[in-house]
């Protein structure tokens, strides 16, 4: 049977990519965003800060792919509204409407202060080390997902996305890139793997320069097909090699560790 998926953040960068890439897997999408979704007149315009609107958005769907919210550093008040209170509205709606599963777009910035200086690949079994209020909201999101899984049986896969763009844009992204097609593969695995409870996975492609382990993502059935190395010559010609003293080289969250929130 075709499953109906609520795709929040459908007007955003990743949402725009996934709205074309997910239907071939057999999903029917309900698109939703704070802004109108270009070319989709039937998309829902809603605000995560409005609990009633969120409940209506969720009603009747089988699962939610939650991309909506603030995706960069912002004031604490802004992050609190859309990413913290908004996420609580979403999980309450999901619980009350009996929705089976959420795929939550978490971020590398939940663990952004993790040093990259050690040997080996970094898994998901590391302590939270948010690098911004934004990253802190992703730590909250993973915590909320864990609570709703243990207490109410609402299942979630939290994907700590590296950098999901059509192409890697910087030397750092040669390590953190998640290609759009691999993103769709990973979201599909997260929607279909049985008995996930709350599972945290890293979300990158099969990058030659990867510093993240994909073990927990592969355990869900994810098999990445892309490698940022294909773009390495072009990226390095434009930007030069990564400065070993830079935040991008030393810390998982890269330059986000140096960003100050707006006043």
- Residues serving a catalytic function are 134
Neighbour-count burial of 216, counting CB atoms closer than 10 A to its CB (0-12 exposed, 13-18 middle, 19+ buried): middle
Smallest separation (angstroms) from ligand 15L to the CB of 133: 12
Is 205 a binder of ligand 15L (CB under 6 A)? no
11 binds, among ligand NAI, ligand 15L, none (CB under 5 to 8 A by kind): ligand NAI
Is 199 a binder of ligand 15L (CB under 6 A)? no
Which of 146, 132, 138, 153 shows the shortest CA–CA distance to 255?
132
Which of 58, 4, 57, 41 shows the shortest CA–CA distance to 26?
4
Query: Pick from 19, 30, 101, 109: which binds ligand 15L (CB under 6 A)?
Result: 109
* Binding characters for ligand NAI, 155-194, by CB under 6 A (x = yes): ------x-xx------------------------------
Q: Which stretch binds ligand NAI (CB under 6 A): 30-38, 208-216, 218-226, 238-246?
A: 30-38
Is 43 a binder of ligand NAI (CB under 6 A)? no
Is 80 a binder of ligand NAI (CB under 6 A)? no
* Residues forming the site for ligand 15L (CB under 6 A): 71-72, 107-109, 163, 176
* Residues forming the site for ligand NAI (CB under 6 A): 9, 11-15, 33-35, 47-49, 67-71, 82, 86, 105, 107, 161, 163-164
């Amino acid at each position: 049977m075709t499953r109906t998926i609520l795709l929040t953040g459908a007007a955003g960068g990743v949402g725009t990519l996934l709205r074309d890439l997910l239907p071939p897997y057999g999903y029917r999408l309900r698109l939703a965003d704070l802004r109108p979704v270009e070319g989709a007149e039937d998309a829902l315009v809603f605000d995560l800060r409005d609990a009633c609107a969120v409940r209506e958005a969720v009603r009747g769907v089988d699962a939610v792919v939650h991309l909506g919210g603030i995706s960069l550093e912002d004031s604490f008040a802004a992050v609190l509204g859309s990413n913290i209170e908004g996420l609580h509205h979403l999980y309450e709606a999901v619980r009350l409407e009996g929705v089976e599963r959420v795929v939550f777009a978490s971020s590398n910035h939940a663990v952004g202060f993790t040093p990259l200086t050690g040997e080996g690949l970094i898994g998901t079994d590391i302590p939270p080390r948010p690098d911004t209020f934004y990253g802190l909201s992703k730590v909250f999101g993973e915590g909320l997902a864990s609570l709703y899984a243990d207490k109410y049986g609402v299942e979630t896969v939290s994907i700590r996305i590296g950098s999901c763009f059509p192409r890697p844009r910087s030397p750092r992204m040669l390590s953190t890139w998640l290609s759009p097609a691999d993103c769709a593969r990973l979201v599909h695995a997260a929607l279909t793997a049985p008995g996930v409870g709350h599972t945290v996975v890293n979300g990158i492609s099969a990058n030659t320069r990867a510093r993240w382990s994909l073990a927990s993502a592969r355990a869900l059935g994810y098999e990445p097909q892309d490698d940022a190395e294909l773009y390495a010559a072009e990226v390095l010609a434009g930007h030069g090699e990564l400065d070993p003293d830079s935040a991008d080289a030393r810390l998982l969250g890269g330059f986000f560790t140096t960003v100050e929130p707006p006043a």
